[in-house]
Amino acid sequence: MAFVKKTRYLLAPPYCKTVETFISPIPVSLSEISDGLRLAGGWRYFKNLRIIQKKNNSLIEVQMPTKELLKVAKKYSKNALSEAESLIENLVNNRGSFAKLDMSNPHIMGVINITPDSFYKNSQITNINKLNKNFYEMINDGASIVDIGGESSRPGAKKISVAEEKNRVVGPIQQLKNYKINSLISLDSRNLSTMKTCHKIGVDIFNDITAFEERNKIEFISKTASPIIIMHMQKKPINMQKNPKYSFAPIDIYKFFSKKIIDLIEAGVKKSNIVVDPGIGFGKTLSDNLNIFKYLPLFHGLGVPILIGASRKSLIADLTIKDYKLRRKNKKDISPSKRLSGSLAFAIHANMCGVQILRTHDVFETNQALLCQKSLYL
């Protein structure tokens, strides 16, 4: 596990050639500062930064005001100042709209799995009546987007045929689209053929756990100008939890997205059509997942909206079981049905970090938590 040493001094001047420099803003509410910068044009602000520097296997973190970083960078070189200014510009720029949604406010994405083997049993849907009921409940409870998938991507899940995936999702999505609902529908799929079919019936967003790794998928997205969610995943669902390794997960994933966004833009994808998802639980250990949450604001430096999905995931069980062990109590498993509280805790943290989209199985509870949290900062 990577260890970040908190210190008073940088390893080297920011953006010099001997170290890698990364910036994670420290989000606060507007009432907590008088002269802060607005984070990503949203509901959080920042004045101070966590400057993370990486040299070989060493990581350090120095906290300093934004103005101090610019001063230090300017003193070192024009190039360093330009890098720092560009990054801060990314942190503050308005994200504009994504799929016609205003990204200056948080949004909830409800999860519907038309699968018999989703990790959370209560989210498994195998008939159209339950699908319709869940879909409209999610919209009424505050979901701006409903993410519909026909293939489980839980750890160890085997890939199903494209024909089977289409058989599960195309008809139900077509029926929902015929109702002319206002909420957006996202397709959770890694298969181009399914994407093409669902595009024809009006799917609004494409959510790909492989981050559109295939060139023909990128060409399709570019041609159709479709809004997309690119997720980070190490390996594949069937083997992603077998000894995942990172130098330091937040930085490794940040660098992955930075390159991916450039590649997508060069291929004709509009930056305004891109959302990033760090992929909690997808090829990550417990410490990797926690580090991602601790450094979530880092991803604002990419200049695009962020999505987080920790709903009912195993890290919640891992933390709970760890607590039982510390109290010398025997607890071997915490089922997904008993992970709501942890889901809400991570959702509130993500919201406090300025994350624009929260993906959840529990729309009502998540929306209620956000409303209560927001009322304290009005």
Instruction: Choose the catalytic residue: 168, 217, 284, 359.
Output: 359
Largest CA distance in the chain: 65
Give the separation between CA 186 and CA 205, rounded to whole angstroms. 4
CB 310 within 8 A of CB 343: yes
> H helices within 25-77, ranges in order?
66-76
Give the separation between CA 22 and CA 122, rounded to whole angstroms. 40
Return the structure tokens found at 45. 């602000």
Q: CA triplet 46, 49, 52: central angle to 5 degrees? A: 150
Give the separation between CA 277 and CA 295, rounded to whole angstroms. 14
- Based on the residue annotation, tell me whether 313 is a catalytic residue of this protein: yes
Return the structure tokens found at 252. 């490794």
Instruction: Choose the catalytic residue: 54, 284, 313, 339.
Output: 313
What is the C-alpha end-to-end distance of the chain, expressed in Å?
A: 39
3-class DSSP string for 146-182:
EEEECCCCCCCCCCCCHHHHHHHHHHHHHHHHHCCCC
- Unique residue bearing structure tokens 């062990």: 325
Residue 291's identity, in one-letter code, is N
Return the structure tokens found at 139. 């919209």
Half-sphere exposure (CA, 13 Å, Cβ side) for 21?
A: 22
Give the separation between CA 261 and CA 189, rounded to whole angstroms. 19
Residue 89's identity, in one-letter code, is E
- Based on the residue annotation, tell me whether 217 is a catalytic residue of this protein: no
Give the separation between CA 196 and CA 170, rounded to whole angstroms. 11
Nearest in space to 313 (alpha carbons), one of 344, 353, 350: 344
Residues taking part in catalysis: 313, 359
